[in-house]
Amino acid sequence: MADQRSVLQDYDRYISGLFAPAADALRSARGEMLRASMPEINVSASEGKLLHLLARAIGAERILEIGTLGGYSTIWLARALPPQGKLISLEIDARYAEVARRNLKRANLAEKVQVRIGPALESLSQLEAEDEGPFDLVFIDADKDGYVNYLRKAMPLLREGGLVLGDNALPDAVLDSAAESGTKRYNAEVSARPDLISILVPVLRTRGIDGLLISVKQAQAPKA
Ligand code: SAH
Ligand code: DHB
Ligand code: MG
């Protein structure tokens, strides 16, 4: 098992060495997070690059992130935006949000990114009330038990053709049909929605394998 994990790390080092070498503001953001004793649960560099590439591929100008932590994934996503683009990131922990704001400032992204403090479900209601939609891309990465509700709240805020990305979609619990997990419930919900076309893609993390559930919003099939 330990062997398998180190092989996965070697694969990830190869991929990120070529396509997502640790650099500049991203490296400092990780350093600041360590100094602030924050959990090391940000996306990997290779997954960050995947988020960035997906945002670029659809020409995203408005991005919504649920779960900021220190702003590491936020930097990958916000760097995909055009000059007039905007990203709103939702975070419940005020101390984490402060670290994220500092990291975003250092990355010269402070003008494009707004970090909103509060429980994501409440912030999503505020975004709806403020008519902040439509977004081109929603990245869900906060508390796993909240994912299904975040999806339901975010769908009306997402344009047709927009992407929903769900992190941590391959927890160990998927290997045990009796095991419960928030992201397993999310995966089931997404797979059953007629307005999403989706695939769960395995991604490499420092601790081994995980998944990103990628969904495109489409018009619901007209009733026959
Ligand atoms: N996207 C980040 C990692 C996010 S970790 C990255 O890859 O760099 C999950 C974050 O969700 C944590 O910062 C946690 O404080 C936040 N969170 C947990 N519950 C939340 C809630 N109810 N509302 C908003 N944020 C929440
Ligand atoms: C963990 C990883 C994540 O990407 C996350 O969003 C939450 C927790 C973890 O490894 O514990
Ligand atoms: Mg995550």
pLDDT, one tens digit per residue, over 27-72 is 999 999 999 999 999 999 999 999 999 999 999 999 999 999 999 9
Domain of residue 36 covers: 2-217
Q: How far is the CA of 143 from the centre of ligand 2 (A)?
A: 9
* Alpha-carbon span 123 to 104, nearest angstrom: 20
Closest residue by Cα to atom 6, ligand 2, is: 141
Residue 223 within a domain:
no
* Alpha-carbon span 133 to 49, nearest angstrom: 25
Q: Is the pLDDT of residue 147 over 90?
A: yes
Residue 121 within a domain:
yes
176 lines ligand 1 (CB under 6 A): no
**Structural domain count, the chain:** 1
Residue 46 within a domain:
yes
* Alpha-carbon span 148 to 188, nearest angstrom: 10
Contacts of 9-16 spanning 24+ positions with Cβ under 8 A: 9/204, 9/206, 11/204, 12/44, 12/46, 12/204, 12/205, 12/206, 15/46, 15/204, 16/44, 16/45, 16/46, 16/49
Phi, psi at 135, each rounded to 5°:
-100, 155
Closest residue by Cα to atom 11, ligand 2, is: 41
Residue 222 within a domain:
no
Query: Which one, of 70, 3, 67, 65, lies nearest residue 30 by Cα?
Result: 70
pLDDT at 224: 66
* CA angle at 110 for the pair 51 and 137, rounded to the nearest 5°: 30
Residue 117 within a domain:
yes
pLDDT, one tens digit per residue, over 171-213 is 999 999 999 999 999 999 999 999 999 999 999 987 789 999 9
Residue 224 within a domain:
no
* pTM recorded for the entire structure: 0.96
Residue 148 within a domain:
yes
Closest residue by Cα to atom 10, ligand 1, is: 67
User: Domain with 58 in it: what CATH number?
Assistant: 3.40.50.150
Q: How far is the CA of 82 from the centre of ligand 1 (A)?
A: 25
pLDDT > 90: percent of the chain: 91
